[in-house]
Each structure stands twice: as structure tokens, then as C-alpha cells.
């Protein structure tokens, strides 16, 4: 029973972090209709920002959120404005060239990080990095619990933003029907720029929260990009609630897969679930939520 409960807790806590990663991706997916294959690399950039602030200025990793999130927002805005938006006007045979562009961006970001920081593994050690508290014999990692709480908070804020503010409503409008929104006088180009910024900012939070318990090197982005698109598809594209479900599902599937099948099957379980959902539940879990 302990094994089961501990696996459950590990899965849920990891799922919270995954949800935060998926949230940004799903937002971008909804508005742009593209899969951002540089998502994990955005996260990597945020982690480097946190590392630099911690290492050279002695800031607590959680404090660096106020710098890493806006920085990534800016990065997202610039990329969308100067690299992705222009593609809408380019005549190309391939409809997927925006996705391919994000692949190029991912490579460039990774290699720039390598230039600056070399391939060395870096980490941020804090007092809470390896501390845990225990509830009835089950251990809860402090840092992961904080990340989980923060993921919930950010999700709620995002909800509030999307539902209550004008900008949020415009984003939802573009997400539902870009052409109609355009006719209603919404500048969809500008909305896309803002959305990319928010998406990048959200994943920046995930990176910063993850860093104290994990480590960092330039190639770290790739695996998280893959996780992000799995979460996005699981959750149903463009659905914020879905992203949370997707993140939790992936976290739980990986944990239970690792415990009851084998750790080497961890990634495989996620991928197989991904393919199954893609094929048989085309809308992802959005189907069940209607948000």
C-alpha cells in the first residue's frame, strides 16, 4: 500500500509541474494552431536565467521568477513578431513551415546556451533542494510541492485572465475562430505575439521551479519539448483545463509505469498513451470538460 501511495504522490507532484509546462504550449497551440517545438528550449533559457541570478547575485530561485518570467515573455514576443508572424505572408508549399521554424529556433537557442555556458552540468543548490516532509510515512518533496502549488495558482490566474480581461477574451476569440475575430476588429497578429509571450512566460515558471531539484545543461530542452506536446495532445488542444489533466495523466502514467512495469518503460508509457489518445480521443480530454 505504501508503494502505491508513494507512487501516486510522486505522480501527482510531477504531474503538477508537467501541467505548468503544458499550459503554455496548449495556449500557443490554441491561438496559433501550431506546435511550438521550441517549448522545452524556452524552459532551458529560463533555467539559465535563474542559474545566473542565483549564482552571481545570490537570489533565491523562487525570487528569480519575477525576472525569468518577464524575460521569457519578451523572448516569446520577439520570436513571434520577427520570426513566426512574417511566415504568414510567405508563400510556401509546406503548411507546416511555422512548426519547422520552431525547430530551427530550438536549435539556435540550445547552441547559444552551449556557447555561453558550455555543455557543463549546472545546478542550483538550496536548503530545500533535497528536503522532504512526511505524512504518514509518505514523503513529499518540498520543492515539488511548492511547484505544484504554484502551478495551481498560475492556472487559476490564467483562467481569470482569459475570462475576465479584454485581452484574455480576445485571445479566446482568436483561438476559437481567427478569421471571425479579425472581422470583429481584433488584431490577430498582436494577439499571437502576446500569446506566445504568455506561453513562454508560463514555461519559464516551470523551469525556474524545477531547477532547485534538477540540473541544467544546454540539451535539456528536447525531452521537455516532447513531454510538452504529449501533455498538450492528451489535454486537448488549446484547453487550459485539459492541460492540467494532461499533465497529471502523464505524471501518473510515468510514475505507475516506472513502479509497476519498469523504469525503462517510463517514457514509452507516455508515448503509447499519447498515440492512443491521438487516435481514439481526438479532442483529448477536452471532450470531457467543455471549457
Partner 1 sequence: MRISSFRLLAIVSSLLISIGLSYAAEGPIKVGVVLPLTGEQAKFGEIEKNSLVMGLEEINKAGGVNGRQIELLIEDDTGKPDVGRSAVEKLISQDKVVALTGGYSSSVTYAVCAVAQQHKTPFLVSTGSSDKITEQGWNFVFRIAPPVSEYPKALNSFLSEIVKPQSVAILYENTLFGQSGAKEFAEQCEKSGIKVLIKEGYEAGAVDFKPLLIKVKAAKPDFVYMVSYVMDAALLMRQSKELNFNPKLFVGGGAGFTLPEFAKNAGNAAEYVFSADLWSPQLPYPGAKEYFENYKKRYGGPTEYHGAEAYGCVYVVADALKRAKELTPAAVRDAMAATDLMTAFGPVKFVSYGKKKQQNALPTYLVQWQKGILETVWPKNVATKPYVYPVPEWSGR
Partner 2 sequence: MKRPSGPFLLLVLLLILPLILRDAYYQHLMILVLMWVAIGSGWNLISGYTGQVLFGAAAFFGFGAYTAALLSSKLGISAWWGLPLGGILSVAIAFPFGWICFRLRGPYFALATLALNEIFRHIATIWESLTDGMIGILVMQTFISKLPYYYVALAIAIFSIVTVDLVMRSRWGYYFVSIREDQDAAESMGIDTLHYKMLSLCISAFLIGIAGALYTNYMGFIDPKVVFSLHEISIMAILVGIVGGVGTIYGPLVGAFIMVAVQEIFRTGGFGILHFIGQSTGWPFMSGIIKYVSEAHVLSFGILVIVVILFLPNGIVGDWSLIRKSLVNSKKPAV
Q: Given the rule CB under 8 A, which residues bind partner 2?
A: 33-35, 83, 86-87, 90-97, 99-101, 103-108, 110-112, 114-115, 222, 226, 229-230, 233, 264-265, 267-268, 271-272, 274-275, 278-279, 282
**Among partner 2, partner 1, none, residue 7 binds (CB under 5-8 Å by kind):** partner 1
Shortest Å, Cβ 215 to partner 2: 20
If one counts every other C-beta atom within 10 angstroms of the C-beta of residue 245, the result is: 22
Question: What is d(CA 201, CA 42) in angstroms, rounded to the nearest whole number?
Answer: 9
Count of residues that interact with partner 1, criterion CB under 8 A: 41
Per CB under 8 A, contacts with partner 1 among 241-270 are 254-259, 262-264, 266-267
Asked if 225 touches partner 1 (CB under 8 A), the answer is no
Question: What is d(CA 195, CA 202) in angstroms, rounded to the nearest whole number?
Answer: 11
Asked if 120 touches partner 1 (CB under 8 A), the answer is yes
- If we measure between CA atoms, which residue out of 40, 44, 65, 57 comes closest to residue 114? 44
Asked if 220 touches partner 1 (CB under 8 A), the answer is yes
**Among partner 1, partner 2, none, residue 214 binds (CB under 5-8 Å by kind):** partner 1
**Among partner 2, partner 1, none, residue 255 binds (CB under 5-8 Å by kind):** partner 1
- Annotate 263-281 with b (16+ C-beta within 10 A) or e (fewer): eeebbebbeebbeebeeee
- Integer angstrom CA distances of residue 237 from 19, 189, 250: 13, 20, 15
Question: What is d(CA 232, CA 45) in angstroms, rounded to the nearest whole number?
Answer: 21
Per CB under 8 A, contacts with partner 1 among 132-191 are 132, 134, 139, 141
x/- binding map, residues 13-52, to partner 1, per CB under 8 A?
-x--x-----------------------------------
- Integer angstrom CA distances of residue 2 from 73, 263, 283: 42, 18, 35
CB proximity list for 110: less than 8 A, separation 6 or greater: 41, 44, 218, 219, 221, 222
Looking at the Cβ atoms of 113 and 210, the one nearer to partner 2 is 113
Looking at the Cβ atoms of 214 and 265, the one nearer to partner 2 is 265
Question: What is d(CA 285, CA 291) in angstroms, rounded to the nearest whole number?
Answer: 10
Question: What is d(CA 284, CA 29) in angstroms, rounded to the nearest whole number?
Answer: 13
Looking at the Cβ atoms of 182 and 267, the one nearer to partner 1 is 267
Four-CA torsion 23, 24, 30, 31, nearest 10 degrees: 150
Shortest Å, Cβ 206 to partner 2: 20
Given a contact cutoff of 8 angstroms between Cβ atoms, the answer to whether 42 and 159 are in contact is no
Provide the binding-site residues for partner 1, judged by CB under 8 A.
Answer: 2-3, 6-7, 10-11, 14, 17, 114, 118-121, 123, 125, 129-132, 134, 139, 141, 210, 213-215, 217, 219-220, 223, 254-259, 262-264, 266-267
Amino acid at each position: 500500500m505504501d508503494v502505491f501511495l508513494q507512487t501516486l504522490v510522486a505522480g501527482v507532484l510531477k504531474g503538477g509541474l508537467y501541467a505548468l509546462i503544458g499550459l503554455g504550449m496548449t495556449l500557443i497551440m490554441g491561438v496559433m494552431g501550431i506546435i511550438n517545438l521550441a517549448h522545452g528550449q524556452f524552459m532551458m533559457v529560463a533555467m539559465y536565467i535563474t542559474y545566473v541570478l542565483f549564482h552571481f547575485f545570490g537570489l533565491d530561485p523562487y525570487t528569480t521568477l519575477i525576472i525569468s518570467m518577464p524575460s521569457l515573455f519578451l523572448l516569446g514576443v520577439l520570436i513571434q513578431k520577427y520570426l513566426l508572424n512574417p511566415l504568414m505572408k510567405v508563400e510556401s508549399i509546406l503548411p507546416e513551415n511555422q512548426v519547422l521554424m520552431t525547430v530551427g529556433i530550438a536549435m539556435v537557442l540550445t547552441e547559444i546556451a552551449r556557447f555561453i555556458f558550455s555543455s557543463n552540468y549546472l545546478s542550483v543548490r538550496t536548503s530545500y533542494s533535497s528536503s522532504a516532509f512526511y505524512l504518514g510515512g509518505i514523503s513529499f518533496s518540498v520543492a515539488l510541492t511548492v511547484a505544484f502549488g504554484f502551478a495551481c495558482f498560475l492556472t487559476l490566474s490564467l483562467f481569470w485572465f482569459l475570462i475576465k480581461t479584454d485581452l484574455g477574451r480576445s485571445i479566446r476569440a482568436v483561438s476559437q475562430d481567427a478569421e471571425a475575430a479579425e472581422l470583429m476588429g481584433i488584431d490577430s497578429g498582436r494577439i499571437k505575439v502576446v500569446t506566445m509571450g504568455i506561453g513562454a512566460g508560463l514555461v519559464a515558471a516551470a523551469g525556474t521551479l524545477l531547477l532547485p531539484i534538477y540540473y541544467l545543461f544546454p540539451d535539456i530542452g528536447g525531452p521537455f519539448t516532447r513531454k510538452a506536446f504529449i501533455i498538450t495532445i492528451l489535454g486537448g488542444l488549446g484547453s487550459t483545463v485539459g492541460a492540467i489533466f494532461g499533465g497529471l495523466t502523464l505524471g501518473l502514467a510515468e510514475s505507475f509505469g516506472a513502479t509497476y512495469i519498469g523504469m525503462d518503460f517510463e517514457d514509452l508509457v507516455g508515448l503509447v498513451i499519447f498515440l492512443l489518445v491521438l487516435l481514439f480521443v481526438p479532442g483529448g480530454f477536452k471532450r470531457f470538460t467543455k471549457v
